[in-house]
Amino acid sequence: MNSAPCKNCMDVIHAVKIKRIVFTSSETGIMYIRANEFESDYLTSGQRNLAK
């Protein structure tokens, strides 16, 4: 299971200048990473449905 932020969440994280994010990844476990080093293009199913 991956709990990394979606694209919209990352847009907000960058806008409010959050410096670090923590999330889990099925491959690597708990991830601690600088927000400016992480990009996401993932859209949730709700976001994909709204885009139609």
pTM exceeds 0.95: no
- Alpha carbon 3 to its chain centroid, in Å, reads 8
Q: What is the structure's pLDDT at 17?
A: 98
Q: What is the structure's pLDDT at 41?
A: 93
Residue 10 has φ and ψ, to the nearest 5°, of -65, -35
Residue-wise pLDDT tens digits, 11-39: 999 999 999 999 999 999 999 999 999 99
| Alpha-carbon gap, residue 37 to 20, rounded angstroms | 9
Could you tell me the pLDDT band of residue 48, with boundaries at 50, 70 and 90?
Answer: very high
